[in-house]
Chain A
Amino acid sequence: MDALADVWIVLRLSLKVALWATAITLVLGVALGWLLARKRFVGRELLDTLCTLPMVLPPTVLGYYLLVLVGSRGPIGAWLYQHFGINLIFTWQGAVLAAAIVTFPLVFKPARAAFEAVEGQYEQAARVLGVSEWALFLRVTLPLAWRGIMAGLLLAFARALGEFGATLMIAGNIPGQTQTLSIAVYEAVQAGQDDMANVLAAITSIVCIAVLLSATRLMPGRVAHHQN
C-alpha cells in the first residue's frame, strides 16, 4: 500500500529528527544545567533567560532568527558553507537544529533544578574519598540527578516530535527529506486527504501519550527515596 509506505517514511524521519535533537539537547542541556547550578559567574541569570527564550518565543520567530543566522548569507551559515561546505537550510539536519533549539529549555531547566537539589555534601564526601572531579560527576552527581534530567528529556523528545513552526521555516516541507509528522498532517489537511491526516494524527498522539506517561512516572517526587 502506497499510503502506508508514505506514513512509514514520515514517521521514520520524525523519529530520526527527534532522536538527534534529543541527543544534542542531552549533552548541551546537562552541561548548561550543571554550569548554572554549580558555578557563579557574571550574567548567569541572563544566560538562563536567553536559553529559556525558545520556550516562549513563537516558533515562527525562532525559525526566522535561525534562517537569518544559518541561512546562506547569515554569519553562521556563510561560515559553515565556506569552511565545511555545510548547508542546513532545507535539510533534515536543519530540522534537527530547529527541534534541538526549541526543546533545549525543556532539558536544561529540569537539569539545573535536579543538580541544585543534589546536596553538595555528597560530592564533598566523594572528593575526600579521592574520587576525581570528572568521576564524581559520573558516579555521584549524575545518578542523583538523573530522574529530573530523564523527565526533561522525555518531554523534549515529545516536543521535538511535534515541532512545526521553526522546522517548517528552516527545513521546509520536502516529502521524504524534511517532511516530519506534524508538517505532513498540515499538508494532508490542506490537500483534503482526511484519511491520511487521521492516521498521522493518531500516530503522533499515541507516541506523545506514551512518552508523557513515562515522563510522569519519572517526575521527581514520585519516589522520594533520595531524600532522607
Chain B
Amino acid sequence: MEFTRGIQKFFLWDIVKGMSATLRHMFKKPVTLQYPTERWEPPERFRGFLGLTRDFKTGEELCIGCLNCEKACPVDCITIVTAGKGREMYAKEFYIDYMRCMYCGLCTEACPTTPKSIVHTHQYETPGYFRDDLVYEKERLYDVWEKEVNYTGPRPWGKLFGLRNQEADTRPEPEAPAETAPAE
C-alpha cells in the first residue's frame, strides 16, 4: 500500500488525475447563458418590478387605497395619496421609488384585495437615465402591469386574473397570508 502510494506520488498521479478531470470538463456543454441574445425565463414566483393591477374584465383599478403596503414597506419606498371615503376610497396618487425598493415582497403580502392590487411582475430590465425616471407614478405602474399581461411565462396570479397561463393553473388558489388576515 505504502509502496503503491509512493509510486503514484513519483509519477505525479494526483496531478494527472486532476488534469484528467479538467480534460473531461472541456467536452461538457457550457452552462453560460449569453444574456442579451438568450434570455432566462424567470420562475413563477419571481419578484420583479412592482405593478398595479386592473380587473381584467372591467379594467377597473383594484387598489382600494388602504395604505397597508405603504405601512408594510421596510424602506418606505411607497407613497400613496388617497381620495374618497369608505368604500369609495381609492389611491389618487401612487408612487414607488425604485431606487429604494429592495424587492422583498412584503407589500404584496400585505395587500388585502383579491386579486392583489400590487404584485411583483416578471420584469427585471427597467433602468433609467435619471433618478427621477425611477420614481414611478401611478400611470407607469399600471403600464408595468399592461406589459405583464402580455407576458407568456408562468405566473402565480394568472388564474386569478383570468390570464393565459402555462403551469400555474394547476395550483390551488393561495390562501390569504396569515399576517394580513383581518383581525378586527
Is the A/B pair a real complex?
no
